[in-house]
Amino acid sequence: MEKIRDREIISKINTLRKEKNAVILAHYYQTPEIQDLADFIGDSLQLSQEAAKTDASIIVFSGVHFMAETAKIINPRKKVVLPDLNAGCSLADSCPPDKFEKFINDNPGHTVITYINCSAEIKALSDIVCTSSNAEKIIHSIPKEKPIIFAPDVNLGKYLQKKTGRKMLLWTGVCIVHEAFSKEKLINISLLHPEAKIIAHPESEEIILQTAAFIGSTSAMISYVKNDPAREFIVATEAGILHQMQKEAPGKLLIPAPANEDNTCACSECAFMKVNTLEKLYLCLKNEKPEIIVPEEIRLKALKPIERMLEISSAKYSFTDGFSFSN
């Protein structure tokens, strides 16, 4: 019954997306049905690159609010809709603009790098934005003598300090999903699957990252599993990724990393990502709402650090000369 209903909704979505010249962008943490119907699935960087080059009139962003907001900042003349406005992000919430502005003012002279998981107001206070797949490259683009503020994710910040050797002033925000992995349970699962390689997203705590054979963004984790000769992997990130990972690496055993007892899910699911459903996606395409609106003053300020990121991330850019913030 459920499947018949899903098929009906998918058929309606397919008709509407053609009629309205809409593109459906989805993150790897969305439900399998949404991933399978999307025009494009990717990590945060790939999704913003896709949003930057789309010629669709409507962008249906099946992800969380900061992702849809980034697409709107890049595309002010396009309509950007999100299936459910409650699709927030604990990391974005952990960095309120008034407190972050004070933090910057209390520490003058720093280059402000913000992880894309933050609000438009926070981006507007930043020099440059980064994602988990380009953060090292972005940090290397800042002249060595320039001190750096990094926000909002403290785990990613600590990991990047180690990788780049740059000491940074860190904001102490966290992702509730990546904080929930249990080291003890991870060890127990590793004992049951001694051949399995642990791979982790850099938002995870240091104690989890220390156990990982590979650390990377969601898309980098998928590529790793696809190309590595190992047959078994324990995956420490949001469990939605397993759907696309399994499609790209059929025949490999993928085990979601276990979360702590007090987590609502035995594996790790992002409740924000999962508020989007097939039905809500259909309704938002049909009604063209809820729509993402960003006040123009904030948008213009937030656009610059996003454009810098996109420029540095493009194949053309060589960061050996450092990046200038003169504009």
* Contacts to ligand SF4 by CB under 6 A: 64, 89-91, 117, 175-177, 203, 238, 270, 272-273
Q: Considering CB distances under 5 to 8 angstroms, the limit depending on partner class, which of ligand 13P, ligand SF4, none binds residue 121?
A: none
Tokens of 22: 């809409």
When the beta carbons of 127 and 203 are compared against ligand 13P, the nearer one is: 203
For residue 218, state whether it binds ligand 13P (rule: CB under 6 A): yes
Closest approach of ligand 13P to the CB of residue 210, in Å: 19
For residue 205, state whether it binds ligand 13P (rule: CB under 6 A): no
Closest approach of ligand SF4 to the CB of residue 138, in Å: 18
Q: Considering CB distances under 5 to 8 angstroms, the limit depending on partner class, which of ligand SF4, ligand 13P, none binds residue 284?
A: none
For residue 175, state whether it binds ligand 13P (rule: CB under 6 A): yes
**What's at 121, amino acid-wise?**
E
Closest approach of ligand SF4 to the CB of residue 187, in Å: 23
Which residues in the 129-168 window bind ligand 13P by CB under 6 A? 131-132
What is the DSSP code string of 171-188?
--B--TTTT-B-HHHHHH
Q: Considering CB distances under 5 to 8 angstroms, the limit depending on partner class, which of ligand 13P, ligand SF4, none binds residue 44?
A: ligand 13P
When the beta carbons of 142 and 257 are compared against ligand SF4, the nearer one is: 257
**Site track 92-121 with ligand 13P (rule: CB under 6 A), x = hit:** -------------------------x----
Q: Considering CB distances under 5 to 8 angstroms, the limit depending on partner class, which of ligand 13P, ligand SF4, none binds residue 120?
A: none
For residue 215, state whether it binds ligand 13P (rule: CB under 6 A): no
H or E segment at 235?
A: strand 232-236
Helices 296-313 and 44-53, interaxial angle, to 10°? 110
Q: Which residues contact 31 (CB under 8 A, 6 or more apart)?
A: 240, 274, 276, 277, 278
Longest dimension (CA), the chain: 62
Q: Considering CB distances under 5 to 8 angstroms, the limit depending on partner class, which of ligand 13P, ligand SF4, none binds residue 90?
A: ligand SF4
* Burial letters 179-211, b for 16+ CB under 10 A, else e: bbbbeeebeebbeeeeebbbbbbbbbbeebbeb
Cα–Cα distance measured from residue 214 to residue 198, given in angstroms and rounded to the nearest whole number: 7
From candidates 23, 26, 43, 244, binder to ligand 13P by CB under 6 A: 43
Cα–Cα distance measured from residue 201 to residue 208, given in angstroms and rounded to the nearest whole number: 10
* Edge-to-edge strand ranges of the sheet holding 22-27: 40-42, 22-27, 58-62, 79-81
Cα–Cα distance measured from residue 146 to residue 136, given in angstroms and rounded to the nearest whole number: 15
* Burial letters 283-318, b for 16+ CB under 10 A, else e: bbbeeeebebebeeebbebbbbbbbbbbebbeeeee
When the beta carbons of 90 and 313 are compared against ligand SF4, the nearer one is: 90
Closest approach of ligand 13P to the CB of residue 283, in Å: 24
When the beta carbons of 9 and 292 are compared against ligand 13P, the nearer one is: 292
When the beta carbons of 9 and 221 are compared against ligand 13P, the nearer one is: 221
Cα–Cα distance measured from residue 252 to residue 26, given in angstroms and rounded to the nearest whole number: 24
Helices 278-287 and 2-19, interaxial angle, to 10°? 30
Site residues (CB under 6 A) for ligand 13P? 43-44, 117, 131-132, 175, 201, 203, 217-218
